[in-house]
Amino acid sequence: MKKNTLTLSLSALTVIGMAVLSNCTSESEGKVETGYNTSNSPDSLCLVDPSWFPHSQTPAPEEGIGSPFDTSSTTNQIFHQWSWNKFLWLTKPDAGGNPLFLNQSKVKQVTSNMAAVSVPDSTLVVLQDTAQAGSESAVLQTNPDYNGGNGAMVYYSIHMNPTMYKAALGFAKALNKGTLPLNNTKAFPVGSFELKVAWVPVSAIPVSKLDEYYTTTASLSTNNGVSFTKTEVALIGMHVVGVVQNHPEFIWATFEHDDLSPDYDWKANSASSASDQLLFKKGSTSGINGILYNSETELGQTPHQVFDLFQYGIPRNPDGSFMTTSQQEPADFQNVDGINKCVKSQLNDVWANYFYNGSIWLNTDGTTPLQQAQLLDSLGYNLTNATPGSFARGSLNCANVTMETFTQTFESSIDSINVNNLANCFSCHSAVKFKTGGKMKSPLYLSHVFQDYVLNKQGNSLKQVEQIKAAEEKQVRKIMQQ
């Protein structure tokens, strides 16, 4: 995001940030983090006590008082460890042999406006939503050549744990009654989490490769909920978004299947694959057309050649070197790469075919919960900033190719992408309330599902809610493109 287009310049933001974080030392302009270093042994990143393996016994990650986050000085490693640990815990089999996140007594499936979804017997998930994030409501279709001409639409489900769901109901009631002001410093409790999951009918995948995907039976609608049919679907991507001690902004982690698409090679200025992948037609594409949306064809400008703009969401320059950002490299890249190698070497089930594509959070070291909430409110749309001295840490262009396919950047050409306009989860998920011109702020507003619920309870129809959200996202996009 460009420094001279925002409500606050970076220098002004730093002043406000330092005022909020009054217990920080004067040496730490923009909150310089100290804990980047990665171990020389990737195995040490995932062989922890208690052990995550075997996968059937993965414990839930420590998140609250006494956890690795309950400290005034963190390392990047613990955020990556939380991300993989949370994913493994959510996907481990319950007593019925199904992933824990599909157990409705443990994790609720909800709609985009937080209404509880009733999942029919003999299925585990209900699917009808196809629209991706962003004002264009883009859809994603698979590469038909991956399975002999059989392409399919990608569908999405949203899930929320009871901790967050119960808290969200309470906060929404207070906001709508006026007992909680719209401008506030409330945050979701530690342990809260949301998931967004990308699925595709198995008809899009060759039979010879199906055992490489987690598959289940869904109740799927192709006509906006008018009717549903039992359909076998495969999981291809997942966002894991959760609150841990000292991080009301959530950790935003993302996972993808191994055989979806290539990473863009910034040194070669192209993305290429010698074989067909689920989302990428074999061959090569240069520039950004593969991830620019064509609303008429409902495909990329270059059809069926979408790619991950940056491997692990960590930005690079045209010569392949790492960008100079608020994040020290190559240490963080090595953290993500190392933990992926470690976890995959320990898995012997279908989840070994998925990888961690990074996560993003803020550096809040040495601050109190109140100061953390005040920081989120003071940053507003600047939460996304990745320039040196900013607070964002981790994968500073964090995105999932199955969900933010066409919003991995807001630029119109590959040459225009730089540290001032990187896109990430915080580009759209900020502490700013929809439809208030950036005036009302709260850590609660980071959740779009929660905001949609509040708007719906205020009398807005689902269509109106989507229009309000789309207008907000257009505003964000306009700011970033200036």
Q: Distance between CA 392 and CA 46 in Å, rounded?
A: 24
What is the DSSP annotation of 92-120?
SB-TTSSBGGG-TTTSEEE-TT-PBP-PP
Summarised one tens digit per residue, pLDDT across range 102-112 is: 999 999 999 99
Q: What tokens does 3 get?
A: 């420094």
Q: Are 40 and 409 in contact (CB under 8 A)?
A: no
Q: Distance between CA 266 and CA 263 in Å, rounded?
A: 9
Taking the alpha carbons at both ends of the chain, their separation in whole angstroms is 9
User: Which pLDDT score, from 0 to 100, does residue 135 have?
Assistant: 67
User: Which pLDDT score, from 0 to 100, does residue 144 have?
Assistant: 98
CA distances (Å), origin 186, targets 72, 95, 225, 373, 428: 21, 36, 35, 7, 19
CA distances (Å), origin 335, targets 46, 113, 289, 328, 357: 11, 35, 30, 11, 11
User: Which pLDDT score, from 0 to 100, does residue 435 have?
Assistant: 86
Backbone phi, psi, residue 176, to 5°: -75, -25
Q: Which H/E stretch holds residue 294?
A: strand 293-294
User: Which pLDDT score, from 0 to 100, does residue 38 have?
Assistant: 63
Summarised one tens digit per residue, pLDDT across range 272-315 is: 999 999 999 999 999 999 999 999 999 999 999 999 999 999 99
In the chain, pLDDT over 90 holds for what percent of residues?
Answer: 84
How high is the mean pLDDT of the chain? Answer: 91
Angle at 117 between CA 455 and CA 404, to 5 degrees: 65
DSSP 8-state secondary structure symbol assigned to residue 6? S
Count other Cβ atoms within 10 Å, centred on residue 477: 18
User: Which pLDDT score, from 0 to 100, does residue 11 have?
Assistant: 35
Is the pLDDT at 465 greater than 90? The verdict is no
CA atoms within 13 A on the CB side of 10: 19
Beta bridge partners, 235, equal 199
Return the closest-CA partner of residue 246 out of 366, 156, 352, 335: 366
User: Can you tell me which residue has the tokens 């291809």?
Assistant: 236
CA distances (Å), origin 157, targets 130, 279, 286, 302: 9, 19, 32, 27
Backbone phi, psi, residue 3, to 5°: -65, -35
User: Which pLDDT score, from 0 to 100, does residue 342 have?
Assistant: 96
User: Which pLDDT score, from 0 to 100, does residue 480 have?
Assistant: 66
Angle at 401 between CA 325 and CA 123, to 5 degrees: 135
pTM (2 d.p.)? 0.92
Summarised one tens digit per residue, pLDDT across range 42-88 is: 778 999 999 999 999 999 999 999 999 999 999 999 999 999 999 99
Q: Are 89 and 266 in contact (CB under 8 A)?
A: no
